[in-house]
Copies of this chain bind each other. A is one copy, B any other.
Amino acid sequence: MTTLTLSKALNEGLRKALENDPKALIMGEDVGKLGGVFRVTDGLQKDFGEARVIDTPLAESGIIGTAIGLALRGYRPICEIQFDGFVFPAFDQIVTQLAKMRYRSLGTVRLPVTIRIPFGGGIGAVEHHSESPEALFAHTPGLRVVSCGDPADAYTMIQQAAACDDPVMFFEPKRRYWDKAEVDTDSGLAGALPMDSARVLVPGTDVTVLCYGPMVRTCAEAAVAASGDGKSLEVIDLRSLAPLDTETIFASVRKTGRCVVVHEAVVTGGIGAEIAAQVTQECFYSLEAPVLRVGAYTTPYPPSRLEDHYLPDLDRILDAVDRTFAY
């Protein structure tokens, strides 16, 4: 057990991935000497060489397009998109090529490509540096979409993603990069919780609160606050957004009868919509109240001086929890 920040945990996980598989590569803008703008790849080029930790030209479509080609040659690229708002130039390669090539090839082609994306707001950044585009990828069959909420998961899940033979969109909670926690860097992946399983973070009985990435910590804090006024929240870290671990979700909602989904992304058309639709269909008779969603309003991401109003926080989560009891 060592105490690591989330970003350092990712760094250690990536190091393991490079050590365990000579075909694993890292590629992206500024991932080499700089170690990435968040230092997630710090020191890796020094230790594994420029052939395995590749500083690319400045073009995201090129990064993903060439990563696909490297994967066709037998490599396992782990690509970094510098910020959430800059994944869009690569959208075509991800959606029309990366996601579909296995299907197109009737399974003869595997594309073990991981795409790391620091996502979400809360760091006072300028435009395009605080987006949450995960729902766009969850609506695209052929991709796995996951997000880690704490250093321990960051360490394991990035290794699981790298070891996965499918394309994985790996969303890293930017504002949690500096969160510290105990990480067991000795344990291998053997006993680890699968990447596509949700985890019951805080067991509870009254309301199921579903979250992922940056909102995991916030929801855990909400659970503590709620227990103060005698409400027992069951907080579940979804971890995987595509596929969703519906078994865990439904079991919890059937128990609590109430459900709140929390994410930073715009509520309209977000992951919460899909969850609300499925939960309502599968737990119809157990629901005491409709599934409520807490997230961003239906506007572009505002200037950072307003982001605290724009993003879900402890109060808005508790407010939603209260509202589920109003039904």
- Nearest CB of chain B from residue A7's CB, rounded to whole Å: 25
Residues on B with C-beta less than 8 A from A270 are 139
Residues on B with C-beta less than 8 A from A85 are 96
- Scoring A95, A242, A270, A292 by chain B CB atoms within 10 A of each residue's CB, the highest score goes to A95
Residues on B with C-beta less than 8 A from A100 are 127, 300
Query: Which residues of A, 6-55, contact B by the 8 Å Cβ criterion?
Result: none
Q: Please tell me the number of chain A residues within 8 Å of chain B, measured between CB atoms.
A: 43
CA of A88 to CA of B98, assembled, Å: 13
A158 within 8 A of B: no
CA of A300 to CA of B100, assembled, Å: 6
Query: Which residues of A, 81-138, contact B by the 8 Å Cβ criterion?
Result: 85, 88-89, 91-92, 95-96, 99-100, 103-104, 127-128, 135-136, 138
| Contact flag A290-B284 (CB < 8 Å), given A89-B92, A139-B135, A277-B276 | yes
CA of A299 to CA of B327, assembled, Å: 37
The 0/1 profile, CB within 8 Å of B marked 1, for residues 239-281 of chain A is: 0001000000000000000000000001011111110110011
A3 within 8 A of B: no
25 pairs across A/B with beta carbons < 8 Å? A61-B89, A88-B92, A88-B96, A89-B92, A91-B92, A99-B300, A103-B299, A104-B300, A135-B139, A135-B269, A139-B266, A139-B269, A141-B266, A141-B268, A142-B300, A269-B273, A276-B280, A277-B277, A277-B291, A277-B293, A280-B280, A281-B290, A281-B292, A284-B289, A284-B327
